[in-house]
Structure 1
Amino acid sequence: MSRGGSGGKQRVKTARGRTASSTRWLERQLNDPYVKKAQAEGYRSRAAYKLIELDERFNLIKGTRRVIDLGIAPGGWSQVVRRQNPGAAIVGIDLLPVDPIDGVTILQMDFMDDAAPALLTESLGGKADLVLSDMAANTVGHQQTDHLRTMGLVEAGADFAGEILNPGGAYVAKVLAGGADHGLVALLKRMFTTVKHAKPPASRKDSSEWYVIAQGFKGPVARPEDERD
């Protein structure tokens, strides 16, 4: 399937039925140091190192007792929480099937299902200290549409965080280039003491993903449209 290239890089031979884009993706995977590190250290995906790097910068995991993982598949973020804080209760949710993780409750369903928030809360057994969201909408190739769909998930996650977080808790969510829009940032700043954007080194340079990190939960707030009712 592959052969050595210059500089020790793996080069993928062309194969019948494989598109040029899939060949490039496979070649990138073979040469990605984070992929190799994840395989060596037993993480399910290179995405684990995004959370590890965010945690190193923002101290998210230490001391948490209950954690929600939105968009858990394939499970790398929950693995990180389990390793760094074995005593924490973790509940994850995803449309995709996820292989069991010791100590983690996994719900296979759409987070946008009306029943999801109550099931997550019930499964966790109490208020959360940290809500993680690596969710992203399936892209359609239209930048504005993709952005709006992903930001809808971020906003839904923020609403849920406002319901389930303990005072002082944190919400971390994947956003696209440019970060969260002004309305969402304004809402988060009313809910949390600090709101920052970060792109961890494990995020590929050509990727449009960033993360919004909201810490110091102050409590749920009414949206402007709610206040007009």
Structure 2
Amino acid sequence: MTNEPVVGVDDPWSPLRRTTQARIGLQRSGNSLSTRDVLEFQSAHAAARDAVHAPLAVDDLTPALNTLGLGEASVVASRATSRGDYLRRPDLGRLPDDLSALPRSDADVGIVVADGLSATAVDDHAVGLVTALVETLASEFTIAAPVIATNARVALGDHIGEALGVEILVMIIGERPGLSVADSLGIYLTYRPRPGRRDSERNCISNIHPPDGLGYADAARIVRGLISGARKLGASGVALKDTSAADADTAGQTPVVDQGSA
């Protein structure tokens, strides 16, 4: 079946393209794609590369988080001293450089905002997501002052959570960008964080990038349900199931929740 448009006939791929961000039904002439599709692909590829290599705008993020009433945000780094090291040595991104300045809070919940593989996602969505989390969680749980982590992998949160003394760590991190989405956030939730936790011991909520992905309020609602479940169960990860899916289905939205690693 050819993808070439038929003269005088509406493009049958048009209604399908509106339902997905995937590149389907690309127009072509012989073996060549249309100039528009080639340029769109190159633009998406450049955006993904920029998201991976760009440094996190810590100077903008810190004051924005400080306005949320949780206390002064702390900034920590992994042992990866550059983006190059971070990409070549994932192990360094999982280890802290120095956490001695972190204030111990013994709060119910700690929130870490980490660049991960997309600083763009953090720049675009982190403040909005943390705001929704505070609005959703503050009436039930105590929340520690936020922590910003640079050149960070998910497991760095285990060290941070132990240093903070929190019961549950919520790590917001930039997800690996693709050619459809370069600014998606993920949340990794860990009960009793400490070094050595396995990926199977945390829950992941992914694809957070409104308006096309999961919204801030929906993500926060799922986090609240997982926190309540983790405290009752005494564990997070594969043993803990999201109980908000039925409510989300009723509202016409299905959350993306799984166990993953980064």
Tell me the TM-score normalised to structure 1 length: 0.32
Bigger relative contact order (CA 8 A; separation at least 6): 2
Tell me the TM-score normalised to structure 2 length: 0.29
Larger Rg: 2
